[in-house]
Structure 1
Amino acid sequence: MADLPAEGRGAAPRRPTRLKLAWESDFAWKFRRSPVALVSFVVMMTLVLGAVLAPWIAPHDPFDPGTLNLMNGFTPPMEPNAFTGETFLLGTDDQGRDVFSTILFGLRISLFVGFAAVCFAMVLGVTLGLLAGWFGGWTETMIMRVADVQLTFPAILVAMLIFGIAKGITPIEYRDQMAIWVLIFAIGLSDWVQFARVVRGATLVEKNKEYVAAARLIGRSGPAIMVRHILPNVLSPVLVIATISLALAIIAEATLSFLGVGAPPTQPSLGTLIRIGQGFLFSGEWWILFFPALTLLALALSVNLLGDWLRDALNPRLK
């Protein structure tokens, strides 16, 4: 008599792996069924990987003066240079730097500033929102009034004010070295309000639920309840806000750099490259401005569309 298979002999069925469970979840199914989310994710990841792998995939190091040749300046895209005969995919700028390489290295600065600023704003906003919602009283009043006052000013103006003050108190010899960190601090400090308001409202709802009362009965302290019980239940809207805020932070960094108060010339971001290219737009060298601007548009649009999809996917009213 032939042996029965393992399942037939009473063996327990093999449990699906976490990867398979994640792939078969409703969230993954919605993601696979959304062309906008798929295209946005592919575009965003392509740009992120290009920035991360820039030192290895960039044809030239645009910030190494030893590799530059001024004779390659203003070379149009995909056309051989009249003097050196070299061809560049996206052309060169006035310094002879490969535009494709400068975009990859500029993406590194823009993405780093955007991610770091959003993380800083999220940590600050979530902390203040939890404190305001949990303690209430004068703590809530002070935090929310500061938030209301900050909301009356455009975020970019707040970021410029904070950047100017922080840069002014930084010693002159350290300003270029600290410029990126000051930029992160300025953008993050101008963007914490929306995190705080959302978390404060969610905390006011969650702290009156039964599981919080049960945690109090078994002797849990207030900070422990906030961190281990309430915080996990208010993270869904925070992640959506963080995704949308990432695009806004990248645009804010590009705006500040375009105005000359952001990334230093020695560490140019996409905004700095756009500012440089704007000076040559009307003289015929359109590619110096066009390709960095197109990259910034693709990055901000893909992150925004992905954030919009994530907001709808995590909205319980749309399920």
Structure 2
Amino acid sequence: MPFTDDHERRQPGTTDLAAAAESGGTLARARDRLHRFVDSDVFYSFRKSPITVAAFAVTLLCFVCAFGAPWIAPHDTNDVATLDLMNAELPPVWLEGGDWRYILGTDDQGRDVLSAIMFGMQVSLIVGFASVIFAMVLGVGLGLISGYVGGRLDHFIMRVADVQLSFPSVLVALLLFGFAKTVLPRGMQDDVAILVLIFAIGLSSWVQFARTVRGSTMVEKNKEYVQAARVIGRRPLPIMLQHILPNVMGPVLVIATINLALAIITEATLSFLGVGVPPTQPSLGTLIRFGNNFLFSGQWWMTIFPGTALVALALAVNLLGDWLRDALNPKLR
């Protein structure tokens, strides 16, 4: 009995020591990964490129402003009760008549332009990210099947891709969005407008993913590790997902980064044409469209500042995509 009591008293301490050792091992592994990343060629090329560092800083600032808008925006533009038409069309603070409460001025409804840009950028980034993920999943899946299976299925998928490439992506997205709006009931159109927009943009940009993955898959499927997987009896689907897919993801990440900027611009274009997100959820394109009505009346800030934010975000993401392409391809260094 004394031995049992003593054993029970020592158990909690042993457990605590084991937990502390496991936590220390996890922390050590995390430090090792961090050191390896800091010493890697990718991070070296990143910190040696001032343009890439500046692009990353601008992109990070846009993300913080967009997704932190409910907490850091000066005003809540989604709350109609806070709007005051007496403050409509105020110029930026450095011009005569400006108000320090509205640093970049106000629009025709009295909304703060700076806050509207923050909330609008959030919608643009959500649509851009979701559409790129949808296009990447669809394109990578079709590219794997096309490159691995080959034959008539490969010819069919590639001919569909060729036909789609003959049309501009904005036109394809515009046609898909218009078709969806005619099919859906009028009462549901505003509720699912963002989902339809994501589907339309994603379906118009899957071709690049599919063609790139198809070419890489046709090379990888003839290598020895894939043939060994076939010999041991692995089925085609596990071979594609577990063996080939990890080895073709490098170019896919580069395409996804560049397509993010294109998706944001496509969303802005559709919203500028009036077929994008509903006015109750304004994006950068919607803000530019509304401000364009007052551009020649002297209220230039309503469209210039949202347009500048769109250009800065798209340019920064494109520069990061160019750097990522060079960093992941040793032949371009």
Instruction: State the distance in 2 between where 1:128 and 1:220 align.
Output: 20
Gaps of 5+ in 1: 1-12
- The CA deviation at 1:312 is 1.1
Instruction: State the distance in 2 between where 1:292 and 1:122 align.
Output: 28
1:279 aligns with 2:293: yes
- The CA deviation at 1:214 is 1.0
Gaps of 5+ in 2: 1-27
Match of 1:73 among 70, 77, 88: 88
Instruction: State the distance in 1 between where 2:112 and 2:29 align.
Output: 54
Q: Is the 8 A contact 1:77 1:87 kept in 2?
A: no
Instruction: State the distance in 2 between where 1:195 and 1:67 align.
Output: 45
Instruction: State the distance in 2 between where 1:14 and 1:308 align.
Output: 31
For normalisation by structure 1, the TM-score amounts to: 0.93
Instruction: State the distance in 2 between where 1:80 and 1:132 align.
Output: 59
Q: What is the aligned partner in structure 1 of residue 56 from structure 2?
A: 41
1:31 aligns with 2:46: yes
Q: What is the aligned partner in structure 1 of residue 102 from structure 2?
A: 88
1:62 aligns with 2:77: yes
1:18 aligns with 2:54: no
Compared CA separation, residues 216 and 295, structure 1 to 2 (3 A): same
Q: Is the 8 A contact 2:99 2:105 kept in 1?
A: no
Q: Which has the higher helix share?
A: 2
Instruction: State the distance in 2 between where 1:71 and 1:280 align.
Output: 17
Q: Is the 8 A contact 1:79 1:88 kept in 2?
A: no
Q: Secondary structure at the match of 2:192?
A: helix
Q: What is the aligned partner in structure 2 of residue 292 from structure 1?
A: 306
Residue identity opposite 1:241 in structure 2: I
Q: What is the aligned partner in structure 1 of residue 136 from structure 2?
A: 122
Q: Is the 8 A contact 1:80 1:86 kept in 2?
A: no
Instruction: State the distance in 2 between where 1:185 and 1:237 align.
Output: 23
Q: What is the aligned partner in structure 1 of residue 7 from structure 2?
A: none
The alignment of Structure 1 onto Structure 2 pairs a total of residues equal to 306
1:245 aligns with 2:233: no
Match of 1:111 among 125, 128, 142: 125
Q: Is the 8 A contact 1:134 1:204 kept in 2?
A: yes
- The CA deviation at 1:36 is 1.2
Instruction: State the distance in 2 between where 1:20 and 1:92 align.
Output: 48
Residue identity opposite 1:19 in structure 2: L
- The CA deviation at 1:15 is 10
Q: Deviations over 1:240-282 (max 9, x none)?
A: 0000000000000000000001111011100000001111111
Q: Secondary structure at the match of 2:282?
A: coil
Structure 1 range deviating more: 235-244 or 60-69:
60-69
* Aligned residues: CA RMSD: 1.7
Q: Deviations over 1:99-140 (max 9, x none)?
A: 000000000110000000000000000000000001001110
Instruction: Return structure 1 stretches of 4+ with deviation > 4 angstroms.
Output: 13-16, 79-82
- The CA deviation at 1:16 is 5.7
Instruction: State the distance in 1 between where 2:99 and 2:67 align.
Output: 30
Q: Is the 8 A contact 2:93 2:100 kept in 1?
A: no
Q: Is the 8 A contact 1:80 1:87 kept in 2?
A: no
For normalisation by structure 2, the TM-score amounts to: 0.89
Within-5 A mapping of 1:231-242: 231-242=245-256
Q: Is the 8 A contact 2:288 2:306 kept in 1?
A: yes
Q: Deviations over 1:280-299 (max 9, x none)?
A: 11111111111000000000
Instruction: Quote the sequence identity (%).
Output: 63
Q: Is the 8 A contact 1:92 1:99 kept in 2?
A: yes
